[in-house]
Amino acid sequence: MSTHNIVFDIGGMRFRSGIVDDEGRLTNQVAFESHTLPKEIVEHITRIVESNALIARDPIVGIAIGGMVETNGGVTSGAMNMFEFPLLERLQLRYPVVVLNDAKAAALAESRFNPNLREKSSFVLMTVSAGIGGGVVINGELYEGHTGVAGEVGHMIIDRGQNAYCRLGHRGCLDALASGRAVNNRLKQFWREGHWTQFEREVELRDLPQLLAQCDGMAHRLVEEAGKWIGAGVMHIIRVVDPCEIVFKGYLMTELWQYIHPSIASVLASYERGIPLSLSSLGENVGLIGAGIAAERLRESLAKV
């Protein structure tokens, strides 16, 4: 008999939820802009779980969320102002819950359902959205590390000479330089300096695809710069993990792939390293499907007790 689980994919930009079965099929999907307060996130999760529990029988709740997530379900840092936040403890749901990093959830989903990766034992998934994160699969298994926070590729130091800081206070890390949050900050700075006067309001990340389509030179330079920093990060990953492929997900990659991919590839070419770079095969649903896989794993472990 097929099982159904209630799943969430919560990032700095979007809050997604749905019901997923053990074959990765999704129903009851909902998406809206993420809230910025942990209390609001907890309230939304609780309300959606209670609503979907009328449909999903004996569900496990799987939550994929941006930030560093330890094995105890605590979010030590990340989006929605969750710093040292005991998410699992605060939820108080009447169903079993598993919490994991959103990039790790996506890596689980790609490992199972991406036909191009089934015969490949080691790859890295990078999410490039409001923040930058990663999931590492080695010999077919998700590598989580000692405390569960392995794969935080966004906090690799790329250029300490840049006056850019991430939310953790790191100077010159990949997240500080090339995340959606970083690009958004530079767009706003340029607008305040007098660029893009055709916009009466402050220019934001959502305006970038339009500027690129209009062949705006400064927008193209900004994206090219971000792509080169991401390429430098990919080179660090290659040196440490030696993966067979890098899979990308997240707003900056899905919306700007045709503009940002050449810059990443040019960095790898300068190091004479050829490695496939691809977008997630599961699109925006990859985090939800991965959360469902994590939920099924929890179900299996509980059945053994």
To the nearest 10°, report the CA torsion of 188, 207, 247, 222. -50
Ordered domains of the chain (ranges, CATH): 4-106+284-304 (3.30.420.40), 119-279 (3.30.420.40)
**Is residue 67 within 8 Å of residue 77, measured between CB atoms?**
yes
* The model's pTM: 0.92
- How remote is the C-alpha of 96 from its chain's centroid? 23
- Of 293, 281, 267, nearest to 114 (Cα)? 281
Residue with tokens 């794969």: 151
CA count, 13 A, side-chain hemisphere, 247? 26
Q: What is the rounded CA–CA span in Å between residue 17 and residue 23?
A: 17
Digitized pLDDT (tens) for each residue of the chain, 305 residues in all: 689 999 999 988 889 999 999 899 999 999 988 877 899 999 999 999 999 998 888 999 999 999 888 888 888 776 677 888 999 899 999 999 999 999 999 999 999 999 888 777 799 999 999 999 999 999 889 998 888 889 999 999 999 999 999 988 999 999 999 999 999 999 999 999 999 988 889 999 999 999 999 999 999 999 999 999 999 999 999 999 999 999 999 999 999 999 999 999 999 999 887 899 999 999 999 999 999 999 999 999 998 87
Question: Tokens in use for 57?
Answer: 């029988």
